[in-house]
Chains A and B, each alone.
Chain A
Amino acid sequence: MGVFIQSSAQISIQEPLCNNYVTKPVLHDEPYVRAIECDYKAFIDPISARRMGKILKRAIAVSVTALKASNVTMPDAVITGTGLGCIENTEKFLSAMTMEGEEFLQPAFFINSTHNTISSQVAIYLKCHGYNNTYSHRGISFESALMDAFMQFETGSAASALVGGDDEMTPGYFALLDKLNYWKKSAGGPGAMAGETAVAFVLSNEVSPVELSGVEILFKPTADEMNRRLTAMCERRGISIGDIDAIFVGRSGDVDGDRIYDAFCGKFFPDREQFTWKKLFGESFTSPAMGMYVADELLRSDRKPLLKHVLVYNHFQNKDHSLILLSKC
């Protein structure tokens, strides 16, 4: 069995639906930046679009773009990871209920507030009756979705899958998370720069330039457990940890969080090349989807021809950790 990345698409704080970040990155120095939107008219009729939150429009645009770039027209599975779900609509309903009372609430915000609105709107758009699932677990929401997709292939339940990672960051929620010191207040201090994420991958069992060789989610792993799971993941792919050529590290600039990456790389990959992506794309609950996007793009390019196996490693508050192994075919 092999699971191969056929195509991908992203909308983020870099230019949308393209890879211009490679040569012409949009540089940000503010802790809060919204995603650069694409023209949604190409994907959604304006009447439907008006009712949709940003996260839904972005998810549909990246899903359709990725599918068009692949041989897959109707995926066997649609699986999404989202840390906060449709937080814009959630806030609107919550705010109306709290500030204006329970008398005059409108159903539209509620309908579009549910986390799985993303996967279901994509399925309704595609008329896709296949397996449909949504994960919402902090910083491993996307990797949970990816692991589920991987198992759909392993168990023979699916031959193709559309997997997404989507999170929007509203001004209101940015401010709330700021109270928890998520975001950077000064250069060199704790906290990260916020980003927004909408990424879609089309996976199938047809050989392509990049294979998804493994995905693992771990909860509060000790160093020994990390070693065991990392080793097991590599062994299942028939390689050893030493065969991994480069690490895509979820370093966000948050000094406390970055120490965990230092320790991980120091222990397992002291002499391997490291790449990061959050400097360009910011931090979000589904930021690892962006990490996989960037790693996949680099493997496909000819900029680093010697890379064969690369690992995307991310952690969330040193509790939820994830490993994604990609291999060039």
Chain B
Amino acid sequence: MKICVTGIGIISALGRGREATYASLLSEKSNIAPLRHFKTIHSDLLSAEVRETNEELIALMGGDIKEPTTRTSLLGMVALDQAYKEAEIEENRPESIAFISGTTVGGMDKSEQYYRDFLDNNSRNEYIATHDCGTCSEMTAERYGKFDIMTTISTACSSAANAVILGANLLKTGRVKMAIVGGSECITKFHLNGFNTLRILDKEPCRPFDATRAGLNLGEGAAYLVLESEESALERGVVPQCILAGYANACDAHHQTASSDDGDGAYRAMNGALCSASLRPADIDYINAHGTGTVNNDLSEGIAISRLFAGHIPQVSSTKAFTGHTTSASGSVEAVISILAIEHNFLPVNLRFKERIEGLSFSPVTNAHQKVAINNVMTNSFGFGGNDSSLIFSRYKKG
């Protein structure tokens, strides 16, 4: 089955929607800045927050969203709304739709804000119910009508990529005619502090794949893709934007928070995706790497890329220097960026790269204005516990 992408939606520090995202990537302007949306003793830490406050996000959605809600759900709604409209679902609704979302933080933004109230009084009890991941997905999607299947994946930073894989399998096994897949995650004090205790937050703007890299900056955002078979897209009169050509997930099975030296899990995921797409390493034009900017990830991922693509290393960049690490949403945020790369035949640069990592055979993209043909893009998402997923998007050709 040829699985087509017929709609995309995105919100991140780069802005809202495909145009803003593309323009921001082309302009090569960093969106990394000190934290604004919540109080923390680490407010000097840099991050890539979505510009809008919760109130502004609610206003964008027409103002009729009632509390209790969570920032993860609000970001999700903004992205879902775009994808939903692009795929013309309202106009021509297929007979069955799945909504699969990835998140790990879920409603933690409100839980951490009201935790004392939860314990001491009954003034914020409604936010106890919005804490879990599944509730956030339901709040994101419910206003869009009937979903036949709805579930939530929580595999930390590979969550949204795994949602894409599940969606594809739901289509292939005939369970639904359409799958809306992706993820949403807001920055919380909880995971900001968590990453901080792991000492993997860079105090400077992050520098993925640079020899001087010193960690990641957290980002937030949401992105969703509408997946359906070519047959379904043509039947509904919607033009496929590209195809999901292949995908794989594998486990590094090495350490809860660190990647193995040789990037075993990453290698397996990328190789599995190539096999599933029936493509050779030389067919990949561009890899949107996981590239968090941590010392460990970029070396491990770089080694895995060097091994798998030996002799044919494609253009590689991490766009996390723009978006920050949008954690559970990064798989779909970067899937959207990969789709834009195909659509515009452009290579997103690896911002702030200066010096190649010792031991790696490649340097990432630094020139966005090259004349290139981008037909096959691989995008990587690696989560805690060595949960490694790789997706391949390819240019759509009819038939």
B197 and A110 form a contact (CB under 8 A): yes
Cα A152 to Cα B248 in complex, Å, equals 12
> Which residues A135-190 have CB closer than 8 A to chain B?
135-138, 140-141, 144, 147-148, 151-152, 154-155, 172, 176-177, 179-180
B384 and A114 form a contact (CB under 8 A): yes
Question: Which of B148, B169, B191, B385 interacts with A155 by CB under 8 Å?
Answer: B169
- Give a binary string over A78-118; 1 marks a CB under 8 Å from any B CB, 0 the rest: 10001111000000011101100111011100111111110
Cα A144 to Cα B138 in complex, Å, equals 15
Q: Which B residue's beta carbon lies closest to that of A126?
A: B253
Question: Counting CB contacts under 8 A, is B154 at the interface?
Answer: yes
Which residues on the B side are within 8 Å of A111 (C-beta)?
A: 194, 198, 256-257, 384
Interface residues of B, Cβ cutoff 8 Å to A: 40-42, 104, 106, 108, 111-112, 115-116, 118-119, 122, 125, 128-129, 132-135, 137-138, 146-156, 162, 166, 169-170, 172-173, 175, 189-191, 193-194, 196-198, 249-257, 264-265, 268, 383-387
B251 and A177 form a contact (CB under 8 A): no
B173 and A94 form a contact (CB under 8 A): no
A117 and B256 form a contact (CB under 8 A): yes
A155 and B173 form a contact (CB under 8 A): yes
Q: How many Å from the CB of A220 to the closest CB on chain B?
A: 8
> In the complex where A94-B111, A110-B198 touch, is A128 in contact with B251 (Cβ < 8 A)?
yes
Cα A143 to Cα B6 in complex, Å, equals 28
Q: How many Å from the CB of A214 to the closest CB on chain B?
A: 11
Q: Which A residue's beta carbon lies closest to that of B197?
A: A107
Which residues on the A side are within 8 Å of B175 (C-beta)?
A: 151
Q: Closest 9 interchain pairs by CB?
A: A120-B385, A110-B194, A137-B134, A107-B197, A115-B154, A138-B134, A132-B251, A136-B154, A219-B150
Cα A22 to Cα B251 in complex, Å, equals 37
A124 and B254 form a contact (CB under 8 A): yes
Interface residues of A, Cβ cutoff 8 Å to B: 78, 82-85, 93-95, 97-98, 101-103, 105-107, 110-117, 119-121, 123-124, 126-138, 140-141, 144, 147-148, 151-152, 154-155, 172, 176-177, 179-180, 217-220, 225, 229, 319-320
- Residue of B135, B149, B264 contacting most chain A CB atoms (<10 Å): B149
Which residues on the A side are within 8 Å of B135 (C-beta)?
A: 138
- A117-B384, A132-B155, A136-B134 known; 11 new pairs, CB 8 Å cut-off, are A95-B115, A105-B194, A111-B384, A115-B156, A116-B383, A124-B386, A129-B250, A132-B386, A137-B137, A138-B132, A217-B151
Cα A128 to Cα B265 in complex, Å, equals 10
Which residues on the A side are within 8 Å of B125 (C-beta)?
A: 179-180
Cα A119 to Cα B148 in complex, Å, equals 27
A130 and B251 form a contact (CB under 8 A): yes
B41 and A124 form a contact (CB under 8 A): no
Which residues on the B side are within 8 Å of A141 (C-beta)?
A: 134
Which residues on the A side are within 8 Å of B106 (C-beta)?
A: 136
Cα A144 to Cα B159 in complex, Å, equals 14
Q: How many Å from the CB of A154 to the closest CB on chain B?
A: 5
Which residues on the A side are within 8 Å of B108 (C-beta)?
A: 94
B384 and A131 form a contact (CB under 8 A): no
B129 and A180 form a contact (CB under 8 A): yes
Selected A-B contacts with CB under 8 Å, 12 pairs: A114-B154, A115-B154, A117-B256, A128-B253, A133-B166, A135-B153, A137-B134, A137-B137, A151-B172, A151-B173, A155-B169, A176-B128
Cα A113 to Cα B156 in complex, Å, equals 11
A133 and B153 form a contact (CB under 8 A): yes
